[in-house]
Structure 1
Amino acid sequence: MIHWPRVKQLRHEVGADEFDEVVQIFLDEVAEVMARLPREIENRQMEQNLHFLKGSALSLGFEQFSKLCQDGERRAAAGDGKDVDIRQIITSFDQSKAVFDAELKQNLG
């Protein structure tokens, strides 16, 4: 669910002192977009939001969530936004965040 080598790489890139702030910014921005997602009816806007979420998720190692966003992004780009399982995307994010929070210290030591 979490690609810990990517998380470690990000921590190395931004530095240990800045890492917590980067994580908080990520979570805040993702939460903002996630709140809008269930109301999206326009394919183009849904595609853009899912693209943003996919990239943010990849940056922080949220692999499963990223894959679901990528699939949804492709569907929306093809005009099939109504077929995107928003509930599954939200659930995946919530589960990924819970695992991230629970396992962060043991994986970054």
Structure 2
Amino acid sequence: MIDWARITELRDEIGADDFCDVVVLFLEEVEEEICQLRDGCETAQLEARLHMLKGSALNLGFRTFSEFCQRAETAAANGQHAQIDMPATLASFDASKTAFLSGLERLKSGAEA
């Protein structure tokens, strides 16, 4: 679900303090987009929102969520909006966020995520 190797790589590249800032910014931006999706964004904006979420998710190791976003983005690009399983995509984010925050606490304490 979470690519911990990517997270460790990013943290090592930018440092622990900047990594914390990145995590906060990521969660704020993604939560804002997720709220838009939960509220039902316009069809015309769906592909772009999903693309942004996919990229953000990949950057911070949310592998499973990024895969859901990719499938939904492709469906939106092809005008196949009925094929998008938005509840599953949103549930994937919720599960990924929970796993990430839990693993992040273990990572901070020096244990394996």
TM-score scaled to structure 2, two decimals?
0.89
The match for 2:18 is 18
Question: What percentage of aligned pairs have identical amino acids?
Answer: 45
Paired AA for residue 84 in structure 2: V
Superposed CA RMSD in Å reads 1.3
TM-score scaled to structure 1, two decimals?
0.92
* Cα distance in 1 between the residues matched to 2:107 and 2:73: 30
* Cα distance in 2 between the residues matched to 1:57 and 1:27: 10
Report the secondary structure of 1:56's partner residue.
Answer: helix
Paired AA for residue 75 in structure 1: A
The match for 1:78 is 78
Higher relative contact order (CA 8 A, sep 6+): 1
The number of aligned residues is 108
The match for 1:40 is 41
* Cα distance in 2 between the residues matched to 1:105 and 1:22: 16
Paired AA for residue 68 in structure 1: F
1:84-99 → structure 2 map (5 Å cutoff): 84-99=84-99
